[in-house]
């Protein structure tokens, strides 16, 4: 990523939050490349600095301001040498706070939301003319229509197929910061997938805030769901593995389940956030499904793809959560058995319906529940990882590992693996025999054929 040529301008991007943000950051770099910006790994001496922010949990705005305070020194240093550095806040905090950021942080030149980064060239022009820019619109010309197709991605590439969310879970800011649900047309996605594969991608992760709410239009005018889209993307020769994230239980339909059975390239791993195992809490969260419906989806998926493993998101301490509600969540975890999970203490987000709900859970109670839940789940993934010792699995080596001579990749089940391997295997699917396992990673040996 680091580019040291002097003629190029240096672009430093710091990214917080979800996979969508990571993807957005790489697309911002794509857009700025023709303007002469090359991405660098360190903020010193950058010509542009973008803080791509996340608003999903507490104190997001405070954290951004303290980060601005910390990074400001680089802008000051650059200016002391007679140079110029543009400093921008992007992403969901930018969307939520807009003008307020410019007011509170005079050092910031640009503030722009997630739906506007295709307008970056125009914004940069203005900012270079010393105009301070705020852009938090939801433009009618979507960024997908005006983004360059060419992308620099590795063997495991991401492809955004859907954005936004209309679900309005009562705890969540995403529908407000990312806007309404929008699906890209089928042909555009398939074309982009082909191009990624031509450029060396072996695996593609289809991305969306609500990816299985996908309902894109095909050239024949018909609407396709995610299952049908996956089947079509799987036909691309040279593409070996497909993943998708993040999905919602409400949008799991028969086509999607069938795809898990029929499409060999679809990885046997599904991140399907459930948040809680209590029907009362699920209702208060506006998730619009029950805990049993979730169990049913898991069972249906396992029927068509017996080796599939699951991951989830959980929130503990949602307003009104009792010991019994928490126990219901623990029981769901025992019933399903997860291979990984993300879990959070509920944090009230101003402006969301849950922020005004009664029945606040004491922080120490929420902490205790979180620890309990995390202990149970990490036991589950340790057990799963250990059950893999002695098996041989296909690993896509994506990067060099922590130790010299090692490469790092993921199994089809999304476990991280480190193995001693020649660098020429970088970007390849390789058979790896698993030799060691901890809760969070595996160690393996490349099988010599």
Decide if residue 273 touches ligand 5AD (CB under 6 A). yes
Of 36-44, 254-262, 340-348, 427-435: span binding ligand 5AD (CB under 6 A):
340-348
Q: Considering only residues 304 through 323, tell me which ones interact with ligand 5AD, judged by CB under 6 A.
A: 313, 315
Q: Which does 175 bind (CB under 5 to 8 A by kind): ligand SF4, ligand 5AD, none?
A: ligand SF4
253 forms beta bridges with none
Instruction: Give the nearer residue to ligand 5AD in terms of CB position, either 121 or 351.
Output: 351
Residue 125 and residue 115 in contact, taking contact as beta carbons nearer than 8 Å: no
Kindly write down the DSSP assignment for every residue of 191-256, as one continuous string: HHHHHHHHTT-SEEEEE-TTGGG--EEPTTS-EE-HHHHHHHHHTSTT--EEEEE---GGG--HHH
Residues contacting 198, CB < 8 A, separation 6+: 238
**Residue (9 or 349) nearer to ligand SF4, CB:** 349
Question: How many other C-beta atoms are found inside a 10 Å radius of the C-beta of residue 238?
Answer: 10
When asked if residue 57 is in the footprint of ligand 5AD (CB under 6 A), the reply is yes
Q: How far is CA 161 from CA 127, 232, 301, 365, in A?
A: 31, 13, 22, 39
**Using rule CB under 6 A, residue 240 touches ligand SF4:** no
Q: Which does residue 349 touch among ligand SF4, ligand 5AD, none (CB within 5 to 8 A, set by kind)?
A: ligand 5AD
Binding to ligand SF4 (CB under 6 A): which residues in 131-190? Answer: 165, 167-169, 172, 174-175
Residues 6+ apart with CB under 8 A from 12: 39, 40, 41, 42, 43, 46, 48, 49, 50
Rule CB under 6 A: which of 142-181 touch ligand 5AD?
A: 171-172
Contact of 114 with 177, CB cutoff 8 Å: yes
Taking the complex as a whole, the smallest distance from the CB of residue 298 to ligand 5AD amounts, in Å, to 17
Please count the other Cβ atoms lying within 10 Å of the Cβ belonging to residue 64.
24
CA distance 385 to 390: 11
Instruction: Rule CB under 6 A: choose which of 138, 176, 344, 429 binds ligand 5AD.
Output: 344
Nearest distance, CB of residue 92 and ligand 5AD, angstroms: 11
CB of 139 vs ligand SF4, minimal distance in Å: 21
Phi, psi of 385, rounded to the nearest 5 degrees: -60, -40
Which residue of 26, 210, 241, 380 would you call a contact of ligand SF4, by CB under 6 A? Answer: 210
Q: Using the minimum distance from each CB to ligand 5AD, give the nearer residue, 61 or 386.
A: 61
Q: Which stretches of the chain bind ligand SF4, using CB under 6 A?
A: 165, 167-169, 172, 174-175, 209-210, 248
């Amino acid at each position: 990523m680091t580019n040291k040529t002097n003629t190029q301008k240096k672009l430093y991007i710091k990214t917080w939050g979800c996979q969508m943000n990571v993807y957005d950051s790489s697309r911002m770099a794509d857009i700025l490349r023709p303007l002469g910006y090359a991405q660098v790994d360190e903020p010193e001496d950058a010509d542009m600095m973008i803080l791509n922010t996340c608003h999903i949990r507490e104190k997001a705005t405070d954290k951004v301001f303290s980060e601005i305070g910390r990074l400001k020194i680089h802008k000051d240093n650059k200016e002391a040498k007679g140079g110029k550095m543009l400093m921008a806040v992007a992403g969901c905090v930018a969307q939520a706070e807009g003008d307020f950021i410019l007011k509170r942080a005079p050092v910031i030149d640009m503030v722009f939301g997630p739906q506007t980064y295709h307008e970056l060239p125009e914004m940069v022009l203005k900012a270079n003319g010393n105009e301070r820019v705020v852009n938090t619109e939801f433009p009618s010309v979507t960024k997908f229509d005006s983004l360059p197709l060419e992308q620099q991605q590795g063997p495991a590439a991401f492809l955004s197929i859907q954005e936004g969310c209309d679900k309005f879970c009562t705890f969540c800011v995403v529908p407000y910061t990312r806007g309404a649900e929008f699906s890209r047309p089928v042909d555009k996605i398939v074309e982009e997938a082909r191009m990624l594969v031509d450029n060396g991608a072996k695996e593609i992760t289809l991305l969306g805030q609500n990816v299985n709410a996908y309902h894109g239009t095909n050239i024949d005018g018909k609407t396709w769901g995610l299952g049908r889209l996956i089947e079509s993307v799987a036909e691309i020769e040279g593409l070996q593995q497909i993943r998708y994230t993040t999905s919602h239980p409400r949008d799991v339909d028969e086509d999607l389940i069938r795809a898990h059975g029929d499409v060999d390239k679809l990885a046997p791993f599904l991140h399907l956030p459930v948040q809680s195992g209590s029907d009362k809490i699920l209702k208060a969260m506006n998730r619009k499904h029950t805990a049993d419906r979730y169990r049913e989806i898991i069972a249906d998926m396992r029927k068509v793809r017996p080796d599939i493993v699951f991951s989830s998101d959980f929130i503990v301490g949602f307003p009104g959560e009792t010991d019994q509600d928490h126990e219901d969540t623990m029981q769901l975890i025992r019933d399903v058995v997860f291979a990984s999970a993300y879990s959070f203490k509920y944090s009230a987000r101003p402006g969301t319906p849950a922020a005004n709900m009664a029945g606040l859970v004491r922080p120490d109670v929420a902490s205790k529940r979180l620890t309990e839940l995390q202990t149970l789940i990490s036991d589950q993934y340790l057990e799963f990882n250990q059950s893999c010792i002695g098996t041989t699995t296909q690993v896509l080596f994506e990067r060099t590992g922590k130790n010299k001579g090692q490469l790092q990749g993921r199994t089809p089940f999304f476990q991280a693996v480190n193995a001693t391997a020649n660098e020429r295997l970088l970007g390849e699917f390789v058979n790896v025999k698993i030799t060691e396992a901890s809760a969070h990673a595996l160690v393996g040996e490349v099988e010599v054929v």
